């Protein structure tokens, strides 16, 4: 049997490099988050620390797999066809991490929507299904002898990627809808500008993760005998975490533009405290801000 390293071990190695680089970004953003003077509750801070731990474990498992294939079994090309246990653990960690991040996204959508529960529940359900499917696939994978045996569980792979893409699409659409509602009702130039920034930022970050999941699905469906999909799959978990951390760390500059605390009282607005800069758009503004009408100078 001929094994083409360029479409098997090559994409996996590139995915490992990208994953390692993104872990560096995660570490910097986590350090930035904890060094800032904020009033986030213990729940949120604990989740951030837990996500960093999962991200570190995620990177370690992928590096361990690459060491097994490229160092321990150097020169044995047929080893590439074997499934190493660290790959299965890598999938489980990805499922847990993605579920935690989407859970936070679902919660902030619930807060932003003034208590509408349907969309957050659907996103939460899709996230739990994706996590369960990841666990199912990984457990089955422990007993598979080769990557080629993954064909037995193609339905599981397609269902997992499809649920991920659908959940990301709902997050993006919902954020745009709720933030656009705030923008249509604002009377102050600083708030209008801030909401516009939030809309652009939220769509860009959500579309990035959706695009990565879509590339995983397409490359696996079109090239099932290669590991090209793994190059994209290795980045998904870290893109989710970095999107969340970037949002948390951006709150202070955005709040500065609004010139006031999150809820006007100097105290956290929810159980997760100042969980998201998106909530800043709905807060009352200080009387010192001068209202304006579109088409007129402030």
| Structural domain boundaries in the chain | 5-281
Distance CA 261, CA 283 (A): 9
Collect all residues with Cβ–Cβ distance below 8 Å to 297 and sequence separation of at least 6.
none
Is residue 112 within 8 A of residue 278, CB to CB? The reply is yes
CA distance 62 to 87: 7
For residue 83, what is the DSSP state?
P
Query: Ramachandran region of residue 272, left (φ > 0), alpha (ψ -120 to 50) or beta?
Result: alpha
Interval 138-195: pLDDT, tens: 888 888 877 777 778 888 888 888 888 888 888 888 877 777 766 555 455 555 566 6
The C-alpha R_g of the chain, in whole angstroms, comes to 22
pLDDT digits (tens, 9 = 90+) for 236-257: 999 989 988 888 887 766 665 5
User: Alpha helix (H) ranges present in the chain?
Assistant: 9-35, 42-67, 85-112, 118-141, 154-184, 189-222, 228-249, 251-258
Where residue 128 falls (left for φ over 0; alpha for ψ -120 to 50; beta otherwise) is: alpha
Q: What is the DSSP letter of 69?
A: I
* pTM of the predicted structure, to 2 decimals: 0.78
The confidence score (pLDDT) of residue 289 equals 41
Mean pLDDT by 10 residues, the chain (298 residues): 74 92 94 82 91 96 92 80 87 93 86 81 90 90 79 85 87 77 55 64 72 89 86 91 84 59 42 40 40 42
Instruction: Tell me the C-alpha distance between 4 and 284, whole Å.
Output: 61
Q: Domain 5-281's class?
A: mainly alpha
């Amino acid at each position: 049997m001929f094994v083409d390293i360029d479409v098997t071990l090559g994409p996996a190695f590139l995915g490992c490099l990208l994953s390692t680089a993104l872990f560096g970004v995660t570490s910097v953003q986590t350090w930035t988050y904890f060094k800032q003077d904020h009033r986030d509750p213990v729940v949120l801070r604990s989740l951030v620390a837990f996500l960093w731990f999962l991200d570190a474990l995620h990177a370690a498992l992928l590096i361990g797999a690459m060491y097994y294939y490229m160092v321990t079994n150097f020169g044995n090309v047929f080893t590439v066809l074997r499934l190493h246990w660290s790959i299965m653990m890598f999938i489980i960690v990805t499922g847990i991490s993605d579920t935690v991040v989407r859970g936070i996204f679902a919660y902030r959508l619930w807060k932003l929507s003034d208590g509408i529960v349907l969309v957050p529940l659907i996103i939460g359900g899709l996230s739990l299904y994706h996590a369960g499917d990841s666990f199912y696939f990984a457990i089955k994978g422990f007993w598979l002898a080769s990557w080629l045996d993954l064909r037995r569980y193609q339905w599981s792979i397609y269902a997992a990627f499809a649920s991920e893409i659908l959940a990301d699409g709902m997050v993006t659409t919902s954020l745009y809808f709720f933030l656009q509602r705030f923008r249509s009702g604002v009377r102050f130039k600083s708030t209008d500008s801030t909401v516009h920034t939030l809309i652009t930022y939220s769509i860009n970050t959500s579309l990035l993760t959706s695009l990565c999941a879509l590339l995983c699905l397409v490359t696996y469906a079109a090239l099932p005998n290669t590991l090209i999909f793994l190059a994209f799959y290795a980045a998904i978990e870290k893109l989710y975490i970095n999107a969340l951390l970037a949002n948390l760390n951006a709150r202070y500059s955005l709040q500065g533009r609004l010139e006031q605390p999150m809820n006007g009282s100097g105290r956290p607005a929810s159980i997760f405290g100042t969980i998201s800069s998106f909530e800043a758009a709905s807060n009352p503004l200080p009387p010192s801000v001068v209202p304006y009408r579109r088409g007129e100078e402030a």
